[in-house]
Amino acid sequence: MSYQPQAGAVIYARDIIRVAKFYREILGFEEKHNGQDHILLEIPGFQLIVHSIPSVIAETIEITDPPLVREDSAVKLVFYIPSIHAIRQASLNLGGGLNPPEMEWQFAGENVCDGYDPEGNMIQIRERSG
């Protein structure tokens, strides 16, 4: 029986290799396909496609270091991990980041922390309590 994702998302990026590496190393995605203009990543139940921004648009976008966080985006992807603490430094090393521990909060029995990938796309990390 072949694996079938239950949900997915597409993230547009200037540097698909760097952004895909962030999601692989921080959240444990497995690379399933690497095309000229996209990289397909999967974890059980979820598929993430990191797709190149068309070059005519990409040339108008500046990615700073650290990146300007796109807090006004209409969508924030949520990912579940075993430990927020365990990925905090690694996320910085890969060009992204998480809000400091004092900005974490509890929601529905889970520890929650907002963060961003190397191009400033907002993400939310949730760690199950207990």
Per-residue pLDDT of the chain (130 residues; tens, 9 = 90+): 456 779 999 999 999 999 999 999 999 999 999 999 999 999 999 999 999 999 899 888 889 898 999 888 889 999 999 999 999 999 999 999 999 999 999 999 999 999 999 999 999 999 987 6
Beta strand pairing status for 46-52 and 30-34?
unpaired
Output the pLDDT for position 130.
63
Output the pLDDT for position 1.
44
- Distance in angstroms (rounded) separating the CA atoms of residues 41 and 54: 20
- Give me the domains of the chain, ranges plus CATH numbers: 7-55+63-128 (3.10.180.10)
- Distance in angstroms (rounded) separating the CA atoms of residues 53 and 31: 19
Output the pLDDT for position 2.
58
Radius of gyration of the chain (CA): 15
Beta strand pairing status for 122-128 and 77-81?
parallel
- Distance in angstroms (rounded) separating the CA atoms of residues 78 and 49: 15
Does this model's pTM top 0.85? My answer is yes
Whether the Cβ atoms of residue 16 and residue 49 lie closer than 8 Å to each other: no
Output the pLDDT for position 73.
86
Q: Which amino acid is at 17?
A: I
